[in-house]
Structure 1
């Protein structure tokens, strides 16, 4: 009988590579490579399996919870990582895993035809400067249905002010409509749409009006806006990336955003 745990390990390996991590051993850590004068960190990997096995004529599967994430010695940065990864800065990864596995085990006991559940969340340091930390969290899950779900979520933290950052901290809320108008021009060009071509039918924008997600990343020369699956297109189309150059946003950016972008473009001294 084939053990499809081998498949599970393969899946986790792929997800970890997507999150720019180098191994899948349960407690192995890896030194981070931050920019000069920034916080040091190490990656930690965790995995927990259910003891309830689901057997078929060909395979034996088991539910699992997997996570990998950077660990900082600095307490506020470390709390930010836990909040970003788990939605709660007081919950540990082991506690979250126990909750997930416990829910499956109760389901397993009552369902005559249970399916394997999976949860894999992998956070990587997307950017780090002397005053700024950004995480990219790659998450996938399956708890039944036709297919699983996956998403990439960006989270931002001001190391200088010790507080999370949102879109309103990058572009002043009074300029959000102008930001949306600029971004729509790039979206229509990217999607090969005419200036007045309707968005209804092809996209899932409310009332057919273009809108931006709150999910964004700061890159060296542009803002990246990421629409995850189902946000504006059918599942089969996956994620949609939209980049808007800073050259068209300069007048809309806050002073804090300009500081961060300057740091992102400052060469790292050897």
Structure 2
């Protein structure tokens, strides 16, 4: 009888462990394109695992990509899938090329994603996009998407931090160090946290995209705060 109970306990433990493994979200590198696509390259991580979690993560990533590829008003996105957005981007270029046949510059869009950090509490993903529709230069933009690892729901910046004043004070000191060698006019009273806050292997990364706080020539400004410096002020544990 004791042997049977022990065996049952072991089997139950193995079953629970197996279920937990099945529920863990993993990612696979995915390339998205269409049959006649010549202008757009999309390489992103696709969430796999618990359908509820994975579907929400993948939906948010797709939404961002469709926004990046949108030509015109961002509030009137007609496409329902990334593939539709790729096709529409190509269609817009073809129409432009008919109207302006002497313009030799070809449009292009490159979108790449990577999982920056994944812990039992939070998943941080970076999406880097470069889009050029014939201007003087293309536009590079990096977006951080943070997700609750247990639900797959996107976490807004306001919900990442539980003590914003304390976090902001520490972030400002790291920001000053980051811009020492750049020609950035900085007024201490106007310091604001960036639109992009995420986690990487080293800690909390803060990133200001081009034009967010400085001219185009300055480029992207980013810096990382070691996790131990701000862990008391965060609502989530971003470490492994």
* Structure 1 residue 82, shift from structure 2 partner: 1.6
Which residue in 2 is equivalent to 1:243? 224
Separation of aligned partners in 2, 1:128 and 1:142:
32
Report which stretch shifted further, 120-129 or 133-142: 120-129
Is 2:94 the counterpart of 1:109? no
Deviation per CA, 1:34-75: give whole Å up to 9, x if none: x99732332221345878xxxxxxxxxxx6011111223433
Is 2:128 the counterpart of 1:154? no
**Residues 144 and 50 of structure 1, relative CA distance in 2, 3 Å threshold:** farther
Which residue in 2 is equivalent to 1:214? 195
Counterparts of residues 12-91 of structure 1 (less than 5 Å): 38-47=24-33, 64-73=39-48, 74=51, 75-87=55-67, 91=80
Query: Which 5+ residue runs of structure 2 have no aligned equivalent?
Result: 1-20, 68-76
Separation of aligned partners in 1, 2:35 and 2:135:
21
Separation of aligned partners in 2, 1:134 and 1:107:
37
Which one has a bigger Cα radius of gyration? Answer: 2
* Structure 1 residue 162, shift from structure 2 partner: 3.2
Equivalent in 178, 182, 186 of residue 170 of structure 2: 182
Query: Which 5+ residue runs of structure 1 have no aligned equivalent?
Result: 1-34, 52-62, 194-198, 266-270
The root-mean-square deviation of aligned C-alpha atoms, in Å, is: 3.0
Higher helix share: 2
Any idea what SS the aligned residue of 1:91 has? coil
Any idea what SS the aligned residue of 1:165 has? coil
* Structure 1 residue 180, shift from structure 2 partner: 2.2
TM-score, L = length of structure 2: 0.72
* Structure 1 residue 142, shift from structure 2 partner: 0.4
Across the two proteins, how many residue pairs are aligned to each other? 204
Which residue in 2 is equivalent to 1:97? 86
* 8 Å Cα contact 1:64-1:101 kept in structure 2: yes
**Residues 180 and 37 of structure 1, relative CA distance in 2, 3 Å threshold:** same
Any idea what SS the aligned residue of 2:154 has? strand
Higher strand share: 1
* Structure 1 residue 169, shift from structure 2 partner: 1.6
* Structure 1 residue 242, shift from structure 2 partner: 1.9
Separation of aligned partners in 1, 2:165 and 2:173:
13
* Structure 1 residue 83, shift from structure 2 partner: 2.5
